[in-house]
Chain A
Amino acid sequence: MSHRDTTDAELAGLARRGDERAARELVERFQRPVFSIVHRMVRDRELAEDLAQEAFVRTFNNLDRYDPSYKFSSWLFKIAYNLTVDHLRRKEVKTISIHGAPDALTAERQEATSVTLESDEEAPDARLEALELADELERAIATLREDYRTAILLRHVEGRPYEEIAEIMDIPLGTVKTYIFRARRQLRDELADTYGVPEV
């Protein structure tokens, strides 16, 4: 039986009763968003895979604690966010250097962890400017504080509403708005420096 048309909440309920296919369908649905946000937080592909994997494993191994009145995605992102932040705090990494991870000792490792644009497509000339902006945007995002970065990625890349972001990050709604406002200001200022757009 295909689970393609089943909602997340229904799949979570089936997985809670031991349905492995339902659990796998949830992994397939959320692996890219979860990996994406974790990768943009830690800027290390291997580490992002480990953390994203751990987030899914903890989510499913603790399904008995999941409250179906909340969205499954909120719960999953919350676990992924907490894991990532714990890791960053253990490593005492506040922002990510665009030149590579602080503990990158070889040129190869620096290259692997530096901020570069990844694209799954060939870039025709007409999209070159958009790609340059995206590249600069990725670099600017990497300079944000971890909580600002999370908030703005969840809002604008994942399209999550403010209330859900507040649940995921376990902070008040007002704080979410403040983080996003400040993150936007900082990104705008970074991009203004690049493109010479005068500040308001």
Chain B
Amino acid sequence: MSEQEIRQTHLTPDEVEAVAETSATLSEARRVHARSCAACAREVAELRRLSAALARLPLRKPAPGFSDRVMARVRLPVPWHRRLAASVRERTAAGIAVAATIGALLAGTGLWALRFPHLSPTVLAGWLAGQAGELLWQGAMAAGRVAYAMGLTDLAGLLQAELSLASAFAALATISLVGVGALSVMIRLVRTEPRGLVSAR
């Protein structure tokens, strides 16, 4: 483009803005055009007027207490030293609780030993273990009687006759799993709400 053509070509939007904002980026030839061309000078003047009017538009204010409302909802990260202090406090509280419990147990045992010297902790523990063993044996016998009454022992015997012991156990386990699965499906079906009864928002 010749020097004359540069001077005669109208300003681009970027150039209009550069002139309006008195930017130093334009060449002298373009500045000469901006000054001498009525159309471009009008563009520049209108842009200046519009920019000034826009810049004078007032900033709107939110209602008083805006920053309080924001801060009430903000969750800033907790600094590491505060996290550590909180953790120590929690652990100390838990530690005190555990120590108090152990202390109470020891104190209780000590008082028991003083009050019932003939019932030492070893004797008491042995008595409790015996009772628990008797209870378990009774439970197993009762379960066996129930299984016999339901014919499960016959089933187990039949399976054992036809299959190896391991296969018999696997078959029984599979039957049990299928039964449990069917039961859970039934429970889900009972719990699921039918469509149309879910309330609208």
Contact = CB atoms under 8 A, between A and B. Distances in A.
Interface string A46-63: 001100110011001101
A138 B60 CA distance: 12
A97 to B, nearest CB: 19
Interface of B: 13-14, 39, 42-43, 46-47, 50-51, 53-63, 66-67, 69-71, 73-79, 82
A61 B53 CA distance: 37
B79 A17 contact: yes
Contact of A187 (B13, B39, B50, B66): B50
A200 B57 contact: no
B76 A184 contact: no
Interface string A19-49: 1100110011001110110011000010011
Contact of A18 (B51, B57, B61, B76): B76
Interface stretch (A85-93, A99-107, A152-160): A152-160
Contact of A53 (B39, B43, B51, B73): B73
B135 to A, nearest CB: 56
Contact of B71 (A20, A134, A157): A20
Given A137-B57, A184-B50, A188-B46, 19 more contacts: A17-B77, A18-B79, A20-B76, A23-B76, A27-B70, A27-B71, A32-B59, A32-B62, A33-B59, A35-B61, A45-B63, A48-B60, A49-B63, A49-B66, A57-B74, A133-B53, A134-B53, A177-B14, A184-B47
